Structure 1
């Protein structure tokens, strides 16, 4: 009889490509991974790993068994989902992630609601950039992830994931208060061709979107500073060090010395949540999606109230 945890270890090595990667994904030591693999090799009577330089590779037998392990583990996940669905109770542990502004803008409300409504559910959350979060959901390291894409640049998703929208997140441009365009009702990105940009990290999806969008307008951006967190970007804008795109989600409070101006044409991010299709029937997944949607609706309503108040103040002035 094949041991499920040992198959899980083999599957992790196949997905991560190394013993250390598998150990990190499974939250165990590399020694524990090696011990599990040694037991599995004795169990099946075949060599499953071979040395490859300083690392290891799967043998032919290892690859064959890893393919079966992936299918077996998927069926186990489906069985657990069906049992949980039949019981109809929101229980157990749910591992979730979100990109930083969504973690700040959505998780406090959503996770607090889940704790209040479903005290037997343990939610474990973390910040993770979309590209890494997708891989973690596919691997089974996460149950659910909040992701984003942009109105003109969709986020590619692998097969086997279910997607549900949470909110459309409007984005403005953040300018130093003394900027030549700070008093405008709206700004086209092309008007900022000569400005220095504050953007996200090299290779991150949002950074690549900014380059793609500016270049489509004939602008080759001058990148002055990079920061993963929106509040860090806004602090740099407040110091007069450049301009940045500032989505509404997780933006407030805007620091003194920064003016946000709507972009024309309007710029929006689509915020959504994904999970594995084989876990679709889990009540905990469905409860988390409902809580995240409620949190997203509150963010959207707050944004409309802020925009209305700003328009009223301009009219009164």
Structure 2
């Protein structure tokens, strides 16, 4: 008989890449996590980890086991859902997360709407980055997240998660108010090819979108300044230190001497809802997803 707790430790090692990181996420000591995996290996009569340089890697037997482990976790979640099927009214705690814009524009209004519709449901919101959201979903610490689609996300085929499109958030070209492009209804990014640019910091999920949009317009932007917050970016533009692409969902400080110009080609980022595999059927999560789908069309104007 496989001990599911030990199997969860192995899944965490695969997810985080090291025993130490998995142990930290599960609130184990590294030695305790290692002991759990050694005992699982003894139970199964196979090696699960092997040395690779200074680290470790999963053996082919472990990789095969993990394919079944993800399916087992999904079935276990479904079994729990079936046992609670008689409680169809959303109730209890609902833990959600998102990046700053998603919290402001989508999750906060969603929480208000759910409070009005389902008084027995308590929504808790965390502001988290994309990677942290996937980690906490994996650990079962949150129930639902709104994330940006990036090249670094788990693939849509990853059965551990249910990722669904929510909305497309267009990028606007943001220029100083007296810039030659400021009066246009729509601008071609190639017209800003020779400008100084303000781009998201290198590890921002939006940076690949900005660089890709410029590349599609036929140029590599000359990035002079980097910013993490969209309002910081807008202030740099207002001081004529460069131009930038900023998502339309980002609410900027009012009355700045800047202009937002729509772009030809409609460069955009995709926002996704993400739950653990199969969890979208839970009443509380289903209610939250319904509210988000209602809010999404009016979020982007």
1:36–1:111 CA distance, 2 compared to 1 (3 A): farther
Which residue in the other structure is 1:179 paired with? Answer: 179
1:266-311 deviations in Å (ceiling 9; x for gaps): 44444332334422321122111122234334534xx3xxxxxxxx
1:192-221 deviations in Å (ceiling 9; x for gaps): 111111112336553222222222222221
Give the alignment of 1:231-246 within 5 angstroms: 231-246=231-246
1:15 aligns with 2:15: yes
1:33–1:255 CA distance, 2 compared to 1 (3 A): farther
Question: Is the 8 Å Cα contact of residues 111 and 123 (structure 2) preserved in structure 1?
Answer: no
Bigger shift: 160-169 or 103-112? Answer: 160-169
1:84–1:224 CA distance, 2 compared to 1 (3 A): farther
Give the alignment of 1:24-43 within 5 angstroms: 24-37=24-37, 40=40
Question: Is the 8 Å Cα contact of residues 10 and 69 (structure 1) preserved in structure 2?
Answer: no
Which consecutive unaligned segments of at least 5 residues does structure 1 have? Answer: 304-317
Which residue in the other structure is 1:158 paired with? Answer: 156
Bigger shift: 71-80 or 272-281? Answer: 272-281
Question: Is the 8 Å Cα contact of residues 50 and 59 (structure 1) preserved in structure 2?
Answer: yes
For residues 255 and 33 of structure 1, the distance between their equivalents in structure 2, rounded to whole angstroms, comes to: 55
Which residue in the other structure is 2:129 paired with? Answer: 128
Which consecutive unaligned segments of at least 5 residues does structure 2 have? Answer: none
1:206-243 deviations in Å (ceiling 9; x for gaps): 32222222222222211112223212211221222111
Question: Is the 8 Å Cα contact of residues 85 and 281 (structure 1) preserved in structure 2?
Answer: no
1:195–1:61 CA distance, 2 compared to 1 (3 A): closer
1:11–1:295 CA distance, 2 compared to 1 (3 A): same
1:162-195 deviations in Å (ceiling 9; x for gaps): 4544344343221123323333333221111111
Bigger shift: 262-271 or 273-282? Answer: 262-271
Q: Secondary structure of 2:90's partner?
A: coil
For residues 201 and 287 of structure 1, the distance between their equivalents in structure 2, rounded to whole angstroms, comes to: 35
For residues 219 and 63 of structure 1, the distance between their equivalents in structure 2, rounded to whole angstroms, comes to: 42
Give the alignment of 1:79-118 within 5 angstroms: 79-115=79-115, 117-118=118-119
1:195–1:284 CA distance, 2 compared to 1 (3 A): same
- Compute the TM-score of the two structures, normalised by the length of structure 1: 0.76
Question: Is the 8 Å Cα contact of residues 104 and 250 (structure 1) preserved in structure 2?
Answer: no
1:280 aligns with 2:280: yes
The Cα of 1:39 is off from its aligned counterpart by 5.1
Question: Is the 8 Å Cα contact of residues 196 and 222 (structure 1) preserved in structure 2?
Answer: yes
